[in-house]
């Protein structure tokens, strides 16, 4: 009887020890695959690890090439990377992007104002449902105006392209079709 208890205890301890080892090993593997996070106190100088090249795998995807030196990227204007764009097309696209930003700025500001007003109405006592409903409707109208401007801009860009470039442009996802109308 004592021998059976000893064997049972031994088996239980062995199983517990092997589970602890498995958990520890899994945690170590997870630490090695996660990026290093620093606190402000640690500072960047504490984590200078020797750069080790990634293993040569066939399935490793190369990062996208850096933008060309001739691209005149401006903050807030997305770059349109399509093959065969002429200098004239690039300039027209840039001008269209600037016009689009000019049109979008007041619309975005309206959305921010309506959201702030709605937040204020939602947190005041007593709650005024009628005012909240009116602001919600105004917010919907502003969101619709933004969507219409994005569609107009998309179609204006499309008219600047050759038929071959239009096919590639049309194949790209349209972000304004997939996002909810939140503050843009």
Q: One digit per residue, pLDDT tens: the chain, 184 residues? A: 677 777 777 777 777 767 676 777 677 766 666 655 555 555 555 444 555 555 555 455 555 555 544 444 555 555 677 888 888 989 999 999 999 999 999 999 999 999 999 999 999 999 999 999 999 999 999 999 999 999 999 999 999 999 998 898 888 888 778 765 444 4
Residue 79 maps to a domain: no
Residue 21 maps to a domain: no
Residue 98 maps to a domain: yes
Residue 96 maps to a domain: yes
Placement of tokens 């937040």 in the chain: 119
Contact 104, 145 (CB under 8 A): no
Determine the structural domain holding residue 152 and report its residue range: 87-178
Q: What is the pLDDT of residues 68-118, one digit of tens each?
A: 444 445 555 556 778 888 889 899 999 999 999 999 999 999 999 999 999
User: 76: which residues sit within 8 A by CB, 6+ positions away?
Assistant: 101
C-alpha–C-alpha distance, residues 41 and 39, integer Å: 5
Angle between helices 87-122 and 129-159 (to 10 degrees): 170
Placement of tokens 């975005």 in the chain: 108
39's torsion region: left (phi>0), alpha (psi -120 to 50) or beta?
beta
Kind plus residue range of the DSSP H or E element containing 5? helix 2-33
Residue 123 maps to a domain: yes
Residue 56 maps to a domain: no
Contact 80, 158 (CB under 8 A): no
Q: What is the pLDDT of residue 81?
A: 77
CATH number of the domain to which 130 belongs = 1.20.120
CB count in 10 Å sphere of residue 173 = 7
Residue 170 maps to a domain: yes
Number of domains comprising the chain = 1
Residue 124 maps to a domain: yes
Contact 98, 77 (CB under 8 A): yes
pTM beyond 0.85, yes or no: no
């Amino acid at each position: 009887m004592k021998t059976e208890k000893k064997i049972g205890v031994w088996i239980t301890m062995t199983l517990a020890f092997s589970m602890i080892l498995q958990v520890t090993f899994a945690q170590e593997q997870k630490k090695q695959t996660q990026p290093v996070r620093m606190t402000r106190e640690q500072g960047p100088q504490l984590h200078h690890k020797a750069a080790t090249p990634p293993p040569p795998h066939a399935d490793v995807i190369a990062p996208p090439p850096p933008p060309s030196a001739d691209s005149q990227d401006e903050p807030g204007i997305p770059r349109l990377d399509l093959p065969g764009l002429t200098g004239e097309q690039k300039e027209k696209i840039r001008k269209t992007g600037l016009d689009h930003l000019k049109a979008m700025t007041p619309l975005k500001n309206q959305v921010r104002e309506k959201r702030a007003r709605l937040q204020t109405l939602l947190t005041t006592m007593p709650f005024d449902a009628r005012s909240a409903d009116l602001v919600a409707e105004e917010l919907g109208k502003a969101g619709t105006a933004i969507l219409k401007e994005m569609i107009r801009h998309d179609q204006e860009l499309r008219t600047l392209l050759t038929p071959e470039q239009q096919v590639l442009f049309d194949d790209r996802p349209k972000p304004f079709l997939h996002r909810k109308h939140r503050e843009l």
